Amino acid sequence: MSYPQHLTAGTNAPRSSGQPLVARARFPLLHNQPDLVYLDSAASAQKPDVVIDRLMRFYSGEYANIHRGLYPLSETATEAYDAARGRIARFLGADKDEIIFTHNATEGVNLVAHAFGDANLRPGDLILTTLLEHHANIVPWQLLKERRRLRLAAVPVDANGDLDLARYEMLLSREPKLVCVTAAANTIGTVTPLKKIIELAHRFGALVMVDAAQATPHFRLDVKDLDCDFLTITGHKLYGPDGIGALYVKESLLADLPPFMGGGGIIRSVTIDHTDFADGPRRFEAGTPAIGAAIAFGTALDFIDEIGFDAIAAHDACLTDYAAGRLAEIGGLKILGHPRQRIGILSFVMDGLHPHDIGTLLGESGVCIRAGHHCAQPLMEHFGVTGTARLSFGVHNTTHDVDRLVDSLARVRQMLR
């Protein structure tokens, strides 16, 4: 995979218009609260009108349970649900039968830990993760380590927040069975060199699990080009509903994975003594799924594709460069990490001010950011802090939003001196 050059500083994107990539009016919450500055898309993106409309249309005029109903309403819902699986597959460059619906990216990681890890890893086997990871790509492997008596190690990062690839190769010489890595770090925005990471892992006989939850709103990932083995995404960061996500599993691996949970919808037949499970992704989707959310997830991906990733990456770079420059005007403020490539995320600390106090007071002035350790405590420890204030951009943000943030930060510093 080649990473968009727009993600680095020095993009040729226009920098002075202050116009959003997508009008705020397309986001009902932002339209209804015109003074609100939302800079927390890395936690969860606001929902555009088309996604909300699709949910309302489904629940008000199309709702029925799927797959077993023989009446037209159920058949129509089934077709829409199955089409959403195909839409996600196209978004990731996958085949339809390689996409498992989940509730979120975290469930995707846990599914791999249980279905693959419990069935295939043996005592003493090594799993590699990295210091860039969200807890969702650390804690499931710790639990698996305890269950299976495994070893777990983390690839370090350098002072800029980039992975130490030399150390990664040294760790690969210890022959790990699985490498678990983020595509883009949720705290400092680092874009990891996935293609190289995956090629090296495969050379040493390891499979690769990619957490793409934070990356996919910002740039395209093609699972066939990457040749990753597992990849997980979540709908709520992709301008879609919460409660829905997806896990890609390479076809050659899917057939041998046991079910993650038991229940209806995953079987061919059941007796008291034995169950014959369904083939393909449905073997991992026990119970009634989030039907409406899955359908609206497909609509959200249409919304993103209509904008285009070139435009999104240029918009990211413009706002990130502008924000870094404006934040540098504030005395005692330090941005954490200066990775070679980053998505539209900046984390910072201010001398003498607690991130929670910063976030609370900004919120009172209508500026929404995230404050804390961002479910990335190992990375916080690496940088010698307990938490940061974090701003993250969506397609509706403008340079005016950054100006509001900076003005509010100046007032916060005066108040808390």
- Catalytic machinery residues: 375
Contact 307, 320 (CB under 8 A): no
Contact 379, 185 (CB under 8 A): yes
Contact 160, 339 (CB under 8 A): yes
Contacts of 57 (CB under 8 A, 6+ apart): none
Q: How far apart are the first and last CA of the chain?
A: 47
3-state secondary structure of 213: coil
3-state secondary structure of 183: coil
What is the C-alpha radius of gyration for the chain, rounded to an integer number of angstroms? 22
Neighbouring C-alpha atoms within 13 Å toward the C-beta of 74: 8
Please name every residue paired with 151 in a beta bridge, in sequence order, or none if there are none. Answer: 126
d(CA 26, CA 42): 19
d(CA 303, CA 317): 20
Comparing CA positions, the residue from 356, 343, 342, 415 lying closest to residue 385 is: 356
